[in-house]
Structure formats: C-alpha cells, structure tokens
Structure 1
Amino acid sequence: MSAIKSLFTPIQVGSIILKNRIGMSALTRNRAPETYPTDLMKEYYVQRADAGLIITEGTLITRQGTEWPFAPGIWDDKHVAGWKNIVDRVHAAGGKIYTQLWHVGRTSHPDAAEQKLAGTPVYAPSAISARGGKFRTIPGQPGYVTPTAIEDPQFIIEQFKRAAVNAKKAEFDGVQLHGANGYLVSQFLDSGSNKRTDKWGGSIENRSRFGLEVLKALTEVYPRDVAIKLSPCGGYNDMGMPLQETLDTFSYFISEADKLSLSFIELVRYSAKFDVEYDGVQRATKHDVLESYRPFVKNTKLFLNADVTPEEGEALVSAGKVDGVTFGFNFITHPDLVKRVQNGKPFDNAPDFAHLQTNKDSGDWATGYTDYPTATY
C-alpha cells in the first residue's frame, strides 16, 4: 500500500474539525429492540471511533414498518437517552458522530409490527408501488405494497425537524438526511415514483422541493451541521430515471442544496451490489457520479462513497477532487479500519454474512457485530 497522507489531514466540516477524512457511512445493523439504542450498539460505535466522522445507521424519524426489524428511532425521550449514552462514549473516545435521519416511504409494509403500532398508512409521494421487497418477519415474506399518497408532506418535514431537535438533545455533532437508496427523499425526486401534479411534483424544481425543504428545516436546528446522502444512479428499491433526466434532476438538486450552508454532501457512485434486475434489465442508470456532479458542489464539502479503496481515496483527496471518503462494508468487518489504513494493513477479515442483520429468531446479537478482530500492530 502506498503512503497514505492526505486522508489523515484534519478538515473542518461545518462547525467541527475532523481528525481525518475517513468517514464511516450509515450501515443498517438491526440491533435496536423495539427501536431503542442499546449498550451493545454503544460498544459497536466506540470500537470505530477512530473514524474522522461516524454516520450512524439510518435512524427512523417515526414508526415505520421497514424491511429492517430492530432499526433504531429518534422520536421520543427514551431514544434520546439511548443515543446520548452512545454519543457521550464516542466523544470520550475522541470521535465525532452524526445521526442519519431516515423515512423509508413506500418501502414499508402495513403488516409490519412497527407500522401497526404507528397506526398510519404506508406513505409515499404517489400511490405507486416499488417492485421487489422482502419482509422477513411477516408471514409469507411479502413484497412492497401500493402506498397511500401523502396529501400534504409538510407534516413529515416537521417530523424530520423534531428528529433533529432530538438529535441535538442527544448531543450528536450533526445530522445527515438520508436522500439515497430509494427512500422517501429519493421517491420525491424520481419522476417514476412521483407523479404528483401539485407543487411537490412534475417539474424538476417541484420534485426537488421536498428534499430541499427538509434540509432547510434541519438547518434551523443545526445551522452548520446538516449533510445529505444522495445516490444518483438509483437501482436499489426500484429507483432510477433516464440518463439525461437523472443528470438534470441531480444537477439542480445539488446546486440548490449547495446554497444551504450544509456541512457536506455524500455522493454514492454506481455499485453493482446496489443495482437490481427487473424483467432481465438492470435498473440503475450508470454514469460517473463524481465527474457529473462535482462542478455543482461549490460551497460545501464533498465525500464520496461506494467501493472506494484507501489508495483511490488518497489520490482523490490529494488531487482536490473530494474532501473525504466514506467506507461502508469494510467498517463492519474491520473496527480498526482507520488504523489499518494508516499502517498499511489489509482488510482481511472474512464477513460473517449470517449475522450481518438480525431477525426474530436471533439470540446472540454480538456475533458478527462487535466480535471482529483487530490487526496486529
């Protein structure tokens, strides 16, 4: 491994200084019983506090029947207390941590336990079902259903803002809006899932309105410490538009988001593992995400995600093409990832695929979660 120096240059992101430019991207791990953070989750995050910035797993702003049982939430005081327990220990270990705010929209299911507790329909911009889906805890493992079109999304914008208020109470360093992977912000942006004819749909400007209004609401709570994650190539969760429409939509959205004094924008480039096939056709709109949208990020920091190697990240940061990179899967299997990069050690822990997620029959949640070994130094 060649010398890695630029990735270890500190950088100011929003109101905080990161000790390095290696971020831990959001990774759903399903270890929050009844949606509440635990001491086991604290151990997991503290193990990874060497990251310049940890972005937590997607954290639900309200009860939703997701495909991910035991995903954490941040809508009540018990959530705040659980997360503060984690944040305080990450800070004590010298780390910085954002929470990723998440609404899954049409990728929830009315028969999931949390959705039943919510007492609300499965909401989306339009009554259009995504293809696919696999709800493992529901009998028959059903797929996605046709959602209920949101009459006026203002109440969800307020839910995002209340979640940010709770994140502030838990003393997170900032929040990241989940605008990627076919969830609610993506569903508003994409012309395939958004067929509205009011101010929230139709034109690029209208389809962008929801995500931009959420960002504005979040910056009322965290004036300098709001980020967004975007995956322009689509694919995952039946998302994607024709190439020119994709380029036009995300160029506009990123240009407008860049005016809001965000702390950073995280762009997810094409990755085959996030692509899906329907009727023999790959769903994603393949294009060079960094090349296409870098010119529109002028006022904030830019982080790149998806299959970035340390050597590539070093070259990109050194050349000024990005300000930092985020690692996902390798952070699951290597709690000492940052130290490995710094010392030229390989990412050689074998993934424990059987225990990546949990299910209703899981017992030992530490296995495949907090038991990966560190390297010898």
Structure 2
Amino acid sequence: MPSLFDPIRVGAIEAKNRIFMAPLTRGRADRAHVPTPIMAQYYAQRAGAGLILSEATGISQEGLGWPYAPGVWSDAQVDAWRPVVRAVHEAGGKIVCQLWHMGRMVHPDFLGGEKPVSSSTHAAPDAAHTYAGKKPYGAPRALAIDEIPRILSDYERATANALAAGFDGVQIHAANGYLIDQFLRDTPNDRTDAYGGPIANRVRLLREVAEAVAGVAGPERTGVRLSPNGAIQGTNDSDPEPLFVAAAEALAGIGIAFLEMREPGPEGTFGKADHPPIAPAMRRVFGGPMILNADYDAASGQRVLDAGEADAIAFGRTFLANPDLPERFAKGAPLNQDDARTWYSQGPEGYIDYPTLAQAA
C-alpha cells in the first residue's frame, strides 16, 4: 500500500505526496473580494503539500457571503490571484481553485438587501458572518429553472478565470450546506420540479455544474468536494447513502480527476457524523482518486491508505498551523497548535507567522 509520502497522479496533476492541504477559509482578501499580497506568502509556505486545495472562492457576488473571502469573477481578482499561484509554483507546489456558491448562506447584506438563492425558501439556521458582525440568515428565494443556465455560466466563467490565473485545476464546492448541497439533500430541497424529489433530480444540478466546469477545464483538471455524512448548516438527508452513491456515479461518468470528501467520524473534533461512513460505498462506484478529510493525523491518515479506503488525505487545521506539515510528519516532529481567534482575522497574525521546524530551531 502507498504511504503518505508517495507521489500520486490526480487527473492531469502530478502530486509529489499524498498529504493534501484541505480548503481553509481565512478571510485575508479585501472588501471587494480581491486577493491580497499576503496570500501569496501564506500559500507558498504550504507548497510542500502534494496538492493545495485553495480556500473557497466565490464564482459571483451572488454566491459569496463571507467577509474578506476571495472571488474569481472579476479581472481584478484574476490579476491578484496570478502572483499567489505563481508563488506556489515557484516553491514547487500545485494548487487548484475551489469554486464556491454559498446559496442561502449568503446574507442579504452582501446583495444590497436582495434575497439569496437556494433550492427552496427555507432559511438557514443560526447566524451569518457579515461585516457588521453576526446576523440571522435571511429567507432565500428558490431558483427558477430558467435561472439554472445563468448559474452554469457563472461556474464556466469562474473556471476560465481560475485557469487564466494559472491554477492547476479547479474543485467544485458541493459540500457543507452550500448551494449544490442545498439541492442534493432533501433538507432543505422540497422542490417538485426536475431539480427536486427523486434522487436523480436532486443530483441534476451537481451533474450539470460538473459537466459545465469540465467542459472548460477538462475533466482531468476538475475535482469535486462532497460532505456525505451528517447535518451541516441545516442541510441533511433522510437517506444519504443512495443519494451520495448516485452522486459519485454521476461524477464518475463525467470522468472528473478526483473526489474529496469531508466525512467526520463519530468522534470528530470538528463536526459529528450521524450515519456510518458512506465513502466506502461511493468508492465502489467512483474509480478515480478519492481524498478523505476528517480530523486525521499522520498515523490515522496512513491507516486509511493502508486499508485502501482512500488514495490521499486532506489535512485542514494542522496545515493551517504547520506550513511544513509533510516535513513534520516525516520526522515525527511535534505540531504547532492553531489559534481559533485568528482563523478569520485580517493581517499576518495566525496566518503567516506559524514557525517551521527550521525557524523554531
């Protein structure tokens, strides 16, 4: 069986190891969602990853409702991403851009007071991060069928922009209760048209987005993130296994480069599962590389590879605090602890100042 340190080919991307960096929202762009120079240093520090999955990046203003998160829909954003991607490449790394539409998780404050869009009119629970602090989510409006082509066009434009910025590929964010997940799962999707009801209908938007993105980037440079287990941000499913197996089958038919999944175990420290793992059933129908992300450390990640349950492991908060994570794993060195107070703050603290082993020495 492969080790975490063995190379792997992911579609058209040659990854030097199987220690991938999971997507991590950090809030270091500006208020126009334009990447800032500090982001180049942050990502370049972590270029030892086999593959960096970028922070979630908005495909449109309609789809982005997180303060200081980056987008990839404007020329200014593309221009600002170029030096970030170039810094990763110059440091020997590979990076893909995660494409994000938050759906009902976008607060109306980001939309000039307009309602966000979703599969239904059900508001998300809890509160949204806004520039004015946390506020209750607003009730969305259900996307009309004749609006779907516009959404697909936004994904195509964002994909072309990401490639123009130099990214090695893209990943479609279809997890964690955001727009595509809002269509996939029967809570909140209560539609009665071609995008609701039976599983084949609820998978439709995911399949159409993946086809649109792969039509621009090529399936060999297209990945997808799913979260097949447990309620998240008010989104869940009454019978998730057949749903996510059908989703994996649809993506396999398109020939995407990889499938990455956030599937917390029952003892996860950041999210809890309410169903036995679904990834094994998905793996039986998806023949491409599968990457798992679920609070792993080096030992537990290696056990997953040894068991043949995944081909690579994506590490999140451990990469946040340890820019040289592969080296630390290889040497069995202690890890820095992340500081939750600086996850989404602006500036260098808790962002580019975590020491490497060499710096600590």
Superposed CA offset, 1:262-316 (max 9, x none): 110012112545548xxxxxxx533213333221222x11001011121122232
CA distance in 1, matches of 2:324, 2:236: 35
Match of 1:31 among 23, 28, 38: 28
CA distance in 2, matches of 1:94, 1:80: 21
Structure 2 equivalent of residue 96 of structure 1: 94
Letter in 1 for 2:227: S
Q: TM-score, normalised by structure 1?
A: 0.89
CA distance in 2, matches of 1:95, 1:312: 24
Match of 2:168 among 170, 173, 180: 173
Match of 2:150 among 148, 155, 169: 155
CA distance in 1, matches of 2:355, 2:154: 39
**1:82-121 to 2 correspondences below 5 Å:** 82-110=80-108, 112=109, 114-116=110-112, 121=115
Superposed CA offset, 1:105-145 (max 9, x none): 001111x2x322xx853111111111112334336x32111
Superposed CA offset, 1:239-276 (max 9, x none): 1122xx21111111111111111110012112545548
Matched, 1:233 2:229: yes
Letter in 2 for 1:346: P
CA distance in 1, matches of 2:204, 2:337: 43
**1:1-377 to 2 correspondences below 5 Å:** 6-33=3-30, 34-64=32-62, 68-110=66-108, 112=109, 114-116=110-112, 121-138=115-132, 141-152=134-145, 153-223=148-218, 224-242=220-238, 245-270=239-264, 272-275=268-271, 285-298=274-287, 300-347=288-335, 349-358=336-345, 365-376=347-358
Could you tell me how far 1:235 is from its partner in structure 2? 1.9
CA distance in 2, matches of 1:120, 1:226: 32
Say which SS state the counterpart of residue 281 (structure 2) adopts. Answer: helix
CA distance in 2, matches of 1:9, 1:191: 39
Say which SS state the counterpart of residue 80 (structure 1) adopts. Answer: helix
Gaps of 5+ in 1: 277-283
Structure 2 equivalent of residue 280 of structure 1: none
CA distance in 2, matches of 1:230, 1:203: 19
Superposed CA offset, 1:121-179 (max 9, x none): 3111111111112334336x321111011112221111011100001101110100001
Superposed CA offset, 1:190-231 (max 9, x none): 111111111111110000000110000011111111000110
CA contact (8 A) 2:119 2:189 kept: yes
Letter in 1 for 2:51: L
Superposed CA offset, 1:296-339 (max 9, x none): 222x1100101112112223223432110000011111111111
CA distance in 1, matches of 2:26, 2:342: 9
Say which SS state the counterpart of residue 259 (structure 1) adopts. Answer: helix
Structure 2 equivalent of residue 279 of structure 1: none
1:228 to 1:74, Cα distance in 2 relative to 1, 3 A: same
Letter in 2 for 1:320: G
Q: TM-score, normalised by structure 2?
A: 0.93
CA contact (8 A) 1:25 1:54 kept: yes
Letter in 1 for 2:138: V
CA contact (8 A) 1:31 1:71 kept: yes
CA distance in 1, matches of 2:167, 2:63: 25
CA distance in 2, matches of 1:5, 1:151: 47
The count of residues paired between Structure 1 and Structure 2 equals: 353
Superposed CA offset, 1:78-112 (max 9, x none): 111111111111111110000000000001111x2
Structure 2 equivalent of residue 281 of structure 1: none
CA distance in 2, matches of 1:351, 1:311: 19
CA contact (8 A) 1:58 1:102 kept: yes
Letter in 2 for 1:146: A
* Identity rate, percent: 38
CA distance in 2, matches of 1:340, 1:357: 25
Say which SS state the counterpart of residue 58 (structure 1) adopts. Answer: strand
CA distance in 1, matches of 2:92, 2:270: 32
CA distance in 2, matches of 1:16, 1:303: 14
CA distance in 2, matches of 1:316, 1:354: 31
Could you tell me how far 1:30 is from its partner in structure 2? 0.2
CA contact (8 A) 1:240 1:285 kept: no
Structure 1: 4+ residue segments shifted above 6 A: none
Gaps of 5+ in 2: none
